Structures are given as structure tokens and as C-alpha cells.
């Protein structure tokens, strides 16, 4: 069954049981590309924008109360996810996202029409004249991207990072007394506490949160009110500022009207900045996950300094093998996020004159990156970091480490310390054994100088040079 609706191109058949109209039906035919759809956070943001606009337009006397109230109800249903199945358009569509803005306008208009007792398609509530009043796709869609990203960073990503930071910090405390060999250039370096390594990881996550807060400041500036090209044509002069205030109340995050609408619609610089913060965190998280994966390698032929939780069998052919699968999933997410960032950056380059024309693909990649980073971070904290255990391997190897000679350098000089290290390496003996033979130092003095715990703190612990 179908009904016939009209748009500016003429008549179009629309399935009888849907809320969308002719414009959306045309876009369904025009873009059978990928099957990818705008995610829930974006649709929520779009619904909130349409609700805030209707409420304000009623207050401004631009929209009759019965019409506006019906739009508010329908837009709230969109924001709450009750009409998600009506958002049927592919991500790869018109670069401004006009098709999806009209998808929202038509769904809300037909639902509001139904609420007023009219038939779908009758335009008792009009998608353009009423739902889209004081708006354009060109300011609504980028505003929806900003708003969705703001909400998801605040509601899902930052809490996930805080959970991961806390888990890493707990291990920093738990592993404080575990002294192991540090590594630089993948080679043995001076001793380090396992807890210090984990404090470093926690510090990376903490700083990622700080960078995300900067990104939120950028995202809070939105282009709503600029309408077609940034001039604000067909919008009430008070619409933008008051709509942003209302939208902030509805969304629980702060948005404000940009003080330069022309940059806000011609480019998506703020989205690139936010994506860059996500990429920075992804590279940090990749380093952390890979370090932990390597420290857990073995258990007999690898580094074996950590024991990772055994969450599933690791092989279909090797009995008893367990792999670092949680860390591996994190690494794949981080790779995906870095790819997403490249798409967002390329998308910004296609801001031709007064409008960016890659907004849908920018939205998809930015919001996907936020979602998968949040999930991977929380899962990493819960299923890997929380269950990590230190082994005796790291501490047992410290005494055999050649870089203990570093503590001798302030006492005997760099050249003599290097000679001792090379001799220990050639003969397979420890630094302590060779130093006892080569130097006129007592065992007590050697114990004092070669104390691994002291080597994990700042200072010259060996005394003066000689």
C-alpha cells in the first residue's frame, strides 16, 4: 500500500504506513549506497533541535500553539528514539545532510499532523513552513553533529576514560613494590617500578580527558541561526541565542550561538579539532594496550612480567593457549579511530565557499569514533586491567640487568662503569659480581650503590665521581 505526497519536484509514492514523505522517499531511491545510517545520538540531537525550535517559535509568536505543541510532542518522540525506524537514509547522501533534515521534518510533521487528527501526507502540519521554521539544513545538521558529539563525550566517553584511569591508578598503587627492568629502544634500561609504568598510563588517560574538555569548548559553539549561508535569512533575530539556551537545558550540555556564522557553516574546523583529540587518545591507548600485551607475553618464552586475565581459549589447535584478546580488540578500535580521523580531516577540506558538503560522513566517523573508544576503554578497564597480576619475572631479572652499572657511574665514572657492564655481558656475570672484582668497594658499599629501589627515584645516590 502506498500514498501519494507532493514536494517541489511533484508527486511521489510513499509507503502508506511510514511517517516520512516525498523528499525522504526520493532520497531512499537516490542513495542506495552502504546501508549505514545516522546513529542514535545524532537522531536524538536532531529531535532536540526541532523541539527547541518549535518551543521558541511559539514564544516568538511565529508558530500557532496547537501546531507548535504537536511538533514538540513529535520531536520529543524522535529524540527519545520512538521513531528511529523512520530515519531510513544512507550516510552517503547530499553533502549538506539536507535529505536527513527533511527526513526529520517530514517525520515530525506527519506525526504532529496525526496528533492533531489529520491524515499522514495532508500537511496539516507542514515540514518546511512549520517544523523547519527559522532553520535550514545548513545550520541544523552541523549543529546536530556538535550537539551529538558533546552529549556522547560527556555521557559515555569521559566516564569510560575516568573508569580506565581509575583502574590504571589502582594498579599503579598495587604494583608499587614491584621493581623491574625499564626499557628504552626496546633494550634494557635502569630499574623502574611496575607501579610507575602504570602511573604513566593513568597520566596519559588523565590528559586525554583534559584534551576532550578543550574539544567540548570548541563543540559548544554552534551555527544554529545562520540558515542558508550564515546570514540568518528567514530566521527571527532572537532565534539563535534563545534556541541555544533552550537546547542547553534539554540536552544537559552547554551550546551557544557562534559569533561568526560564516566560518561555522563553511567549515567544520571544530569537528576536526574534536576528532584530533580522539585520535590523540587512540594513539595513547594503543601504546598502553600494546605495552600490556607485551609485558604479558609468554608465559614461558615471552617477557612474562604480567599475567593477563584468561577470558577465552586462544587457539583452536593448541590446547591451553590463552591470548591477550581484550588488548587486541583495543588495538583494532584505535586503528579504526585513526582512520575515522583522516576522513573527518578530508571532509573539512570540502568546505566550498559558504557550505561544507561532507557533513554526513564527518558525523558518521566522529560519532563512531566516540562510541567505540568509550566501549573499548571501559571494556579494557573491566576485563583486562582490573584482573592484571604481576609475576616474579620482572624483579628476578633486575639483579642480572646490565644497566645497574648506571648507578656506578657517579662513583667510578662513565668509562669504568661501561667497562664493567661490557665485561659482565661477555662473561654472563652480574654487575655486582664484576664490580666486586674490579673495584675496591665493600659489599656494604655495593649494596648501597646498586640498590634497585633507590634507582627508581631522582638523585645522585652513588656519591661523588672518581
Report whether 321 belongs to an annotated binding site: yes
The active-site residue out of 122, 185, 440, 442 is 185
Report whether 23 belongs to an annotated binding site: no
Q: Is 99 a catalytic residue?
A: no
Report whether 126 belongs to an annotated binding site: yes
Report whether 127 belongs to an annotated binding site: yes
Report whether 442 belongs to an annotated binding site: no
Report whether 184 belongs to an annotated binding site: yes
Q: Is 185 a catalytic residue?
A: yes
Report whether 50 belongs to an annotated binding site: no
The active-site residue out of 23, 275, 315, 377 is 315
Report whether 103 belongs to an annotated binding site: no
Report whether 128 belongs to an annotated binding site: yes
Closest CA to 91 of 21, 31, 19: 31
Report whether 322 belongs to an annotated binding site: yes
Report whether 96 belongs to an annotated binding site: yes
Binding residue ranges: 96-98, 126-129, 136-138, 184, 316, 321-323
- Residues annotated as catalytic are 185, 315
Binding residue ranges for substrate: 96-98, 126-129, 136-138, 184, 316, 321-323
Amino acid at each position: 500500500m502506498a500514498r501519494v505526497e507532493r514536494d517541489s519536484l511533484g508527486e511521489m509514492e510513499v509507503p502508506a504506513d511510514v511517517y516520512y514523505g516525498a523528499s525522504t522517499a526520493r532520497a531512499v531511491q537516490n542513495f542506495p549506497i552502504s546501508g549505514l545510517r545516522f546513529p542514535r545520538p545524532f537522531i536524538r540531537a536532531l529531535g532536540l533541535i526541532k523541539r527547541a525550535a518549535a518551543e521558541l517559535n511559539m514564544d516568538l509568536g511565529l508558530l500557532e500553539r496547537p501546531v507548535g505543541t504537536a511538533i514538540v510532542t513529535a520531536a520529543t518522540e524522535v529524540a527519545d528514539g520512538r521513531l528511529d525506524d523512520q530515519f531510513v537514509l544512507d550516510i552517503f547522501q547530499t553533502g549538506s545532510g539536507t535529505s536527513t533534515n527533511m527526513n526529520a521534518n517530514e517525520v515530525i510533521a506527519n506525526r504532529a499532523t496525526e496528533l492533531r487528527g489529520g491524515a499522514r501526507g495532508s500537511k496539516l502540519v507542514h515540514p518546511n513552513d512549520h517544523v523547519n521554521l527559522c532553520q535550514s539544513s545548513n545550520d541544523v545538521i552541523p549543529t546536530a553533529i556538535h550537539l551529538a558529539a558533546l552529549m556522547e563525550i560527556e555521557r559515555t566517553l569521559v566516564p569510560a576514560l575516568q573508569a580506565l584511569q581509575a583502574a590504571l591508578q589502582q594498579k599503579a598503587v598495587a604494583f608499587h613494590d614491584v621493581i623491574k627492568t625499564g626499557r628504552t629502544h626496546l633494550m634494557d634500561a635502569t630499574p623502574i617500578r611496575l607501579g610507575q609504568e602504570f602511573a604513566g598510563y593513568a597520566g596519559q588517560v588523565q590528559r586525554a580527558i583534559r584534551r576532550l574538555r578543550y574539544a567540548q569548548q570548541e563543540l559548544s559553539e554552534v551555527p544554529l541561526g545562520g540558515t542558508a549561508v550564515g546570514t540568518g535569512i528567514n530566521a527571527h533575530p532572537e532565534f539563535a541565542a534563545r534556541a541555544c539556551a533552550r537546547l542547553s537545558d534539554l540536552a544537559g550540555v552547554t551550546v551557544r550561538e557562534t559569533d561568526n556564522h560564516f566560518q561555522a557553516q563553511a567549515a567544520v574546523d571544530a569537528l576536526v579539532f574534536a576528532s584530533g583529540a580522539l585520535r590523540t587518545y587512540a594513539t595513547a591507548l594503543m601504546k598502553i594496550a600494546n605495552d600490556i600485551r607485551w609485558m604479558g607475553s609468554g608465559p614461558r618464552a615471552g617477557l612474562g612480567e604480567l599475567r593477563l586475565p584468561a577470558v577465552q581459549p586462544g587457539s583452536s589447535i593448541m590446547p591451553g593457549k590463552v591470548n591477550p584478546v581484550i588488548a587486541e580488540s583495543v588495538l583494532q578500535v584505535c586503528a579504526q579511530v585513526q582512520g575515522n580521523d583522516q576522513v573527518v580531516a578530508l571532509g573539512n577540506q570540502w568546505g566550498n565557499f559558504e557550505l561544507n558538503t561532507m557533513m554526513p560522513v564527518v558525523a558518521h566517523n566522529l560519532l563512531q569514533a566516540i562510541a567505540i573508544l568509550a566501549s573499548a576503554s571501559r571494556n579494557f578497564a573491566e576485563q583486562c586491567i582490573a584482573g592484571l597480576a604481576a609475576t616474579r619475572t620482572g624483579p628476578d631479572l633486575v639483579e642480572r640487568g646490565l644497566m645497574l652499572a648506571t648507578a656506578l657511574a657517579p662513583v667510578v665514572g662513565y668509562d669504568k662503569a661501561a667497562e664493567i657492564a661490557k665485561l659482565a655481558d661477555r662473561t654472563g656475570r652480574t654487575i655486582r659480581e664484576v664490580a666486586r672484582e674490579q673495584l675496591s668497594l665493600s659489599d656494604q658499599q655495593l649494596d648501597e650503590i646498586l640498590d634497585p629501589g633507590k634507582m627508581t627515584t631522582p638523585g645522585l645516590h652513588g656519591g661523588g665521581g672518581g
